[in-house]
Amino acid sequence: MEGTMSTTTTQAPKPPRALPPLMSLSETAAERLRALYAKGDGKLLRVAVSTKGCSGMSYQMNWVDAAGPGDETVTDKGVTVLVDRKATLFLIGTVMDYEQKAMSAGFTFTNPNEKGRCGCGESFHI
């Protein structure tokens, strides 16, 4: 009687894919924030996402004295920005920039999670 031998092949588990950084800053945004922070009032910029506008979500930025219990701290290019923990899933991989145009200037967001924006650019959806 011949013995039957069964062999089992197992594959090593795939290593988890690294997530992109929560948020990063362009050099222009970092420069602008350094200038704003240098004014010496000690406040930090806090980025959040709220439900608002035609498409459903909108970026919000506020100056705060310190990180709150629900804030994530993002440090890029030597500059710290706070992110509301509720916004983290919506912002993974986002690049914050600062644009100056002929009639306006301000921070902008390039968010790979966005599926579309409203016509006026005030809100987005995921």
The per-residue pLDDT for range 80-115, each reduced to its tens digit, is 999 999 988 888 899 999 998 888 888 988 888 766
Cα 90 to chain centroid, rounded: 7
pLDDT at 64: 93
Cα 96 to chain centroid, rounded: 8
CB 34 within 8 A of CB 79: yes
87 contact partners, CB below 8 Å, separation of at least 6: 47, 48, 49
pLDDT at 85: 92
What's the full length of the chain, in residues?
A: 126
CB atoms within 10 A of CB 52: 13
Judged against a pLDDT cut of 70, whether residue 60 lies above it is answered with yes
CATH fold of 23-114 reads Hypothetical Protein Aq_1857; Chain: A; (2.60.300)
pTM of the model: 0.74
Mean pLDDT of the chain: 82
